[in-house]
Structure 1
């Protein structure tokens, strides 16, 4: 979330065509026991998001979605990772259409046909977090431009995940995401990144979605767990934070889409811990 980025990214600048900088990693390597617990916390998140994608409909308020998600997280023995995090008041971030990230659920904000709704949530289970985000098209009549943006954002996530294996680097993930988004003619949001995840919701490293020299280019090792989360805007990479100090929007009211998975680096590749196809 924003506070993490303020600490890590005081003067972020994107650059292209960069060589790898190999530096000893400070990223936490999870033990087999820790990974077993994170599979459970991540499965809870995957279950909640799969259910949300099925129940969200026109006429619901964004607070209705939050209430459902919190109820389900608690029913499965976990607590919402986001609620109270740096003062965030809800269990999900729910961002509609031109809202980019960190939308606060509200009783007076209704969901309509044709909306694209980003739902980001986390679950804290036995000392460890899982974290994931989906974008849901509401109703059967989603405009082609919105569908295309959602498709690009989801493809960008999986292009990044394909680069997860020992010996590859964060720059490999960033480059794969950036290249895919550019092919579509869209824009990677540079103000927010993915992150490590474990006992803390946000751990090192920051997982960029574009090429940059800003932080060490961490080399991936088995046992690392990363939250990879490209955020893609239709018309601009720029964002504006509203007066509530949380909700981020596009300055021109253009659409934004986001997808995220918690991903384990394995000895020969990756394992998507928040895979909704497995719940």
Structure 2
């Protein structure tokens, strides 16, 4: 992913430098090549520095059918922050680069510069967001779908069908069995529920409520409209304002816990003190 974006931004910088050099020569603009190079490479360099934070945001706040209305305003605010940081970093690099070359960089009217850059930066920002979500959606299709395995492959069921021990996962044309005991948490994602197992997602065509009804309530707990977690994977419950909380999972992931489910979680977690340390 890093190489991909480096190639994208790097190619754009090289192309813009060449075309700007040609335009300067064509219209007799007294612009040194090193001026053009600093101007054109400073922008993608700052974008690459900001990119990891945007990719983490896309992973943390995915835009699905049931979440986009809630998260889209955050992305709009994020695009403004992206532009502000991008313009600031870009100007600082240009000031430093020009100074090393014995010249002075003048950014001009900062307000107009921000408006001008935002018109471009917002397109870049939302292109990255759209591409990340498209890749994530395509990945789910490649992985295939999971389905409930109602009974073992051989012999009579050893437990009620309402508590399946395994899920049948179809991935790349092959069938795999995912044990319910290996599921760390489940996240609603549109018409699917992503089952998280060892840092991988396995999409199940189901609603979160339907899946929750099939899981053991002594083992799995609803903590958010979009999340069900295995209690044994929760290491800490961090209280937040307005009665909400953050759940710190064993693999380092942080998941949201809404006020509606927080007290129920704490009550259930009280019987699992060795596995859950409450903040």
Q: Whose RCO is larger (CA < 8 A, sep 6+)?
A: 1
Question: Comparing both structures, which one devotes a greater share of its residues to helix?
Answer: 2
The TM-score range, normalised by the shorter chain, is under 0.3
* TM-score for the superposition, normalised by structure 1: 0.26
Structure label with greater radius of gyration:
2
